[in-house]
Chain A
């Protein structure tokens, strides 16, 4: 049943496959992000309570959601690498960590810039904010471990264990607004059933969300391909590939955000 997946465990096949996907991802990211962000900044209505400061929502919420979903993906990759010794999933996990860290930082910074006018403070040590900060430290720890060892297999194992142990933080972030009294408001979008926002706000949000998804896919593809090259630099396929450099560059990232 899963046999069609097997060829993708080959680094050469994966390298060319991600190379084909990357230009599409980058073009879609550019389109969705430019449409979504203009819609969010100019055309979306202001919130009846929060006024124009609500426009931070269109970056803050996608960034926070992706900071957690990238960690989830990284935990799956780490699990596969620890259980089935898949070298490719190590490369994938190490490609995802810096992207996740960036989005966690964006979620924290935009959250602070939204909290100052709404709550009157940049930062407060409550459950949602603290657990998101811990997520950032987990990402930084995983990145440090990936770079701490000369032997990439040892590095992958150490980083993988930290990733799996740290994944306990994910449900804590998700349910922190329900388990503890917190300043942070509850879920707006990801409620089961109807999201508690009007369509005028939901559509630009969805487009921004998809735009960030494609941007993340693009960056992870670049980093994944870099990891594949550096981990397989002694293999014949890499040597052959480098003899014809035009095959190496599948796309220019022009027009990307």
Chain B
């Protein structure tokens, strides 16, 4: 132990400001670097996941559209049939 008391330790033999400035700035920069690196890792993962979700949604939407088109064409056929039926019945009643 090189220091007798806490205040002695903080004073650093008159060089306290320079020593603590060095240690403080270094710690700050390193903490920022670690946090930024971790954040970037998470952001990249989220971005890839978001794109995958979007692709999945687009694929689902495309499939739904296809199905609807098939249904629409069949329903159009149905309505044509109905009109024909109504016309037929009209002809009969007249």
Given contacts A52-B12, A222-B41, contact A242 B48 (CB under 8 A): yes
Which chain B positions have C-beta within 8 A of A41?
Answer: 9, 23
Tell me the smallest distance from the CB of B48 to a CB of chain A, in Å. Answer: 5
The reply to whether the CB of B31 lies closer than 8 angstroms to some CB of chain A is yes
From B3, B30, B41, A226 is in contact (CB under 8 Å) with B41
Residue of B nearest to A101 (CB): B33
From B12, B13, B33, B45, A102 is in contact (CB under 8 Å) with B33
- Chain B residues 18 to 44 lying within 8 A of chain A, measured CB to CB, are 18-19, 21-23, 25-27, 29-31, 33-34, 36-38, 40-41, 44
**B interface: dominant SS:** helix
From A56, A218, A226, B18 is in contact (CB under 8 Å) with A56
Expressed in whole angstroms, the Cα–Cα distance for A102 and B22 within the complex equals 14
The reply to whether the CB of B66 lies closer than 8 angstroms to some CB of chain A is no
Which chain B positions have C-beta within 8 A of A88?
Answer: none
From B14, B21, B33, B47, A219 is in contact (CB under 8 Å) with B33
The reply to whether the CB of B52 lies closer than 8 angstroms to some CB of chain A is yes
The reply to whether the CB of A105 lies closer than 8 angstroms to some CB of chain B is yes
Q: How many residues of A are in contact with the other chain, CB < 8 A? A: 44
What is the total of A-B residue contacts with beta carbons within 8 Å?
109
The reply to whether the CB of B70 lies closer than 8 angstroms to some CB of chain A is no
Expressed in whole angstroms, the Cα–Cα distance for A226 and B36 within the complex equals 12
- Chain B residues 49 to 94 lying within 8 A of chain A, measured CB to CB, are 49, 51-52
- Chain A residues 214 to 254 lying within 8 A of chain B, measured CB to CB, are 215, 218-219, 222-223, 225-226, 229-230, 233, 238-239, 242, 245, 248, 253
Taking Cβ atoms with an 8 Å cutoff, the residues of A that contact B are: 37, 41-46, 51-53, 55-56, 59-60, 63, 98-99, 102, 105-106, 109-110, 113-114, 116-117, 215, 218-219, 222-223, 225-226, 229-230, 233, 238-239, 242, 245, 248, 253, 256-257
Taking Cβ atoms with an 8 Å cutoff, the residues of B that contact A are: 1-3, 9, 12-15, 18-19, 21-23, 25-27, 29-31, 33-34, 36-38, 40-41, 44-45, 47-49, 51-52
